[in-house]
Each structure stands twice: as C-alpha cells, then as structure tokens.
Amino acid sequence: MNPRLTTPVALLSLAVLAPIMLAGCTSKESENGAIAVTSTNDGCDLDKSEAQTGDVNFKVTNNGSKVTEFYLYGNNNRVLGEVENIGPGLSGNLTVEVTDPGTYTVACKPGMVGTGIRKEISVTGEKKAKEEVPADVNAAKERYLDYVRGQVNGLSAQVQVFVDHVKAGEVDQAKAMFGQVRTFYERIEPVAESFPDLDPAIDMRWDDTEDGSQPFTGFHRIERALWPPQQAEVGEAPGQIAPADAANAKATDNKAEIDKAADALLANVNKLKAEVNKPDFTFETRQFVQGPQALIDEIAATKVGGEEDRYSHTDLWDFAANVDGAETLIAEMQPMISAKDQALMDKITAQFADVRTAINQYRDGDGYVTYTQVTEEQRKDLSNKIDALSASLSQVPGLVLG
C-alpha cells in the first residue's frame, strides 16, 4: 500500500494466468493497449515504453526457468502495483490507474530476488482525476490505518526489547521473543512491502542476497545467528538452508556483526514507524480491498513450505499473524460484503475458522510447535484450506468497489 504518493495511482487488478497460446498473447494484448512484457532469467523486455494517463495495462509472460515478479514504481521508488509468483510458462496481468504524466520504472524479478531488471516507461497525456471511492470504503480505510499505526508502534517497542536481548547475549530470551515480535510485522505485511527499501532491509531472506552478493540484514539475519545452521538442515530443497548460506553464517555470524545487524533492524523499524505515522500517510483503495487475499497468499506462495523461518522453524507464528491481518481487513469490509452477498461473507467467515483451527491445533502454551513437527500431509491439508480461502477472498475487491 502506497504511502505519501506524489504521483496518484490505484492498483486495479492483477492475476496469474495459465499458459494458453502464449505465443499469440503478446500481439493480442498489444492490440488492446497493454504493454507486453517478456521476463526471462536475465531480461525484462517491453514491446513498448509509452502509455497514456488512466489505466495502464501490462501483460507479463515468464519465458524463463525461474518464478518471476513484475513491479511498477513511481516517485521515491514507491511500489504502485505488482504481480507476484509468475511461474515458468505462465503469464500475469497488471492494471494500474496512473493519473499523473511522468516517467515510471518497471522491474522484472526473476527468482524473486534483488532489485530486479529495471526499465523506464513514459506516461503522457493530461492529468486525470482519480476514480470516486464510496464513502464507506474510505471510512473503513481510515479505521484500518489506525490499526496499522498501532501495529507499527507495537513493533517498534518490541524490537527494542528484542535487540536489547540480542546485544546482551541473552540468547534464550531473544529466541523466546522471535516469533512473537515478528507478529506485528506480518499482520501488516502488504503495507510494509510498499516501502521497497525498508521491507527487504527488515524482512529479507538469504535468497534475496543473490548468494551473498548483497548484504544480509534484518530479522532473518539475526534468526540465523540465534539458530546456527545444522548440517542436517543444509541442502537445496525448499525449506532447507543453502550450502552458501550455511558457509556465510559460519564466516560472518559473530557478535560484532550481529550487534550491527540488530542496531540496523531497530533503525529500519523506526524509519517505518516514522513514515506510517506521518499525517499524510495513505494507501490506495484497491490495495486495501485486495489486502486480505494478499496476506493469505503470503502463506500459500512463500511460507507453507517452511522457507520463511528456515533456521528457527517458527513459521506458524507468521501464518497466524497473516491470518490476523487478513481477518482485521475483512472485519472492516464485512458490512459492505454482507450487504451485497451474505452467502459469500458466510463462506469467508467459515473458511477463516477452518484455517484458524488448522493452525491452532499446533499451539504449544503461548506459542506454537516448531514447523518441523508438521508433516507433509498436514502441510498439504493446511495449504488446501488456505487456497480455498484465497479463492473466496479474490471476489472481495470487485464486490466492495462494484
């Protein structure tokens, strides 16, 4: 969600599509005015680099061997729109309402790491007024903004305590806090991700370092130091620790370096807090209504395999936090959904309960068992419930804004 945008935009739609007649898609989409984007392992090719103010459409085809993402950035490197998790041979659509003319940056991210392969596009035409948003939606956004600020303020306070434990060498206390302190961040992840510099600094994984060519920072750098990689966990399978990651940990995870990482984490969290608490902080309506699905898809796309917290295996904390955030968003929109489709609202409510029950069966005291205790069959069952919920949540934006 895009704070303080000096170039007004609104994310309209995104989808990942099956590879149906990919060779013919580019020309057809181009005829309809879309910018055809071809992403490969080392390229990001656009069939044109100009567009008009209003709805700007992209058709992204992945001709590489790695899962890719596509982003549109505005002023101050703000994320204006994105489509994620486009597998090899698949395509994705992105539509963004751009109301101001100017130069914008797009990026393909093969492998979903790094800053991506960037290109510029020029948007010309007259400045346009933004689409009208229903008053009840704006009111819900304002209430949700209060929630976001509360979570960020809580994150700042808890990270301070966490960092104090880390720097004091109080490993047990820091370990005990790790899953809980991340809860505040995971609940508002779509908002945090709209800061493309702060989000990776706070929440990057080893995968984002391009095998150590970029600095490894944030929560997961400290996580790795608290739970040093064990040989049995090293490998190339999803959820395992890459050999280069383990080697880097052995070489660099000393007290001096981890103390610096802890200080940097606190500084970046406080920068996020300062941005979110600015009076003119805002986020786009379409991203607000797509927020519930975005949070649930975070689990389905990048977490259910155990990739997120691969050193500590505290993944279930993150799952629960993503569900918390999604439920909060749906609660704000519930009157609007119920007024138009009570059956859908009832279905979403029941599916949230199913997902919550599936996660809560792994409760252990005030927390959760380690994710290594969840079998492959149990993970698949959880994944199926999350996918079903995501399908229902995908109907919310059109219903609320329709």
- Are 185 and 39 in a shared domain? no
CB 75 within 8 A of CB 107: no
Q: Is 343 domain-assigned?
A: yes
Tens of pLDDT, residues 270-324: 999 999 999 999 888 888 999 999 999 989 877 899 999 999 999 999 999 999 9
pLDDT at 4: 29
- Closest listed residue to residue 111, CA positions, set 92, 132, 95, 88: 88
Q: Is 253 domain-assigned?
A: yes
Supply the CATH number for residue 182's domain: 1.20.1420.20
**Number of Cβ atoms within 10 Å of the Cβ of 64:** 20
In terms of pTM, does the model score above 0.85? Answer: no
CA pair distance 69, 84, nearest whole angstrom: 4
Length of the chain: 402
Tens of pLDDT, residues 357-374: 999 999 999 999 999 999
CA pair distance 181, 184, nearest whole angstrom: 6
Phi and psi of 174, rounded to 5°?
Answer: -65, -40
- Are 268 and 384 in a shared domain? yes
- Are 159 and 199 in a shared domain? yes
CB 327 within 8 A of CB 51: no
CA 376 to each of CA 240, 353, 380: distance values in angstroms, whole numbers, following the listed order: 14, 22, 6
pLDDT at 55: 87
* Residue percentage of the chain with pLDDT more than 90: 70
- Are 84 and 107 in a shared domain? yes
Last residue of a domain, one of 87, 103, 124: 124
What is the tally of structural domains in the chain?
2
Q: Which residue has the higher pLDDT, 42 or 78?
A: 42
- Are 95 and 150 in a shared domain? no
Q: Is 150 domain-assigned?
A: yes
Strand (E) positions, 221-366?
363-364
140 conformational bin, left if phi > 0, alpha if psi -120 to 50, beta if neither? alpha
Give me the domain span that covers residue 231: 135-401
Burial of 164: CB neighbours in 10 Å, binned 0-12, 13-18, 19+: middle
Q: Is 130 domain-assigned?
A: no
- Are 189 and 291 in a shared domain? yes
Q: Give 159-198 as a DSSP string.
A: HHHHHHHHHTT-HHHHHHHHHHHHHHHHHTHHHHTTSTTH
Q: Is 180 domain-assigned?
A: yes
Mean pLDDT across 36-49:
95
Most confident of 27-36, 70-79, 258-267: 258-267
pLDDT at 3: 33
Tens of pLDDT, residues 335-355: 999 999 999 999 999 999 999
Cβ neighbours of residue 113 closer than 8 Å, sequence gap 6 or more: 207, 208, 209, 210
Mean pLDDT across 387-394:
96
Q: Is 3 domain-assigned?
A: no
Last residue of a domain, one of 99, 124, 149: 124
- Are 111 and 205 in a shared domain? no
Supply the CATH number for residue 32's domain: 2.60.40.420
Last residue of a domain, one of 96, 124, 152: 124
pLDDT at 245: 97
CA pair distance 352, 396, nearest whole angstrom: 14
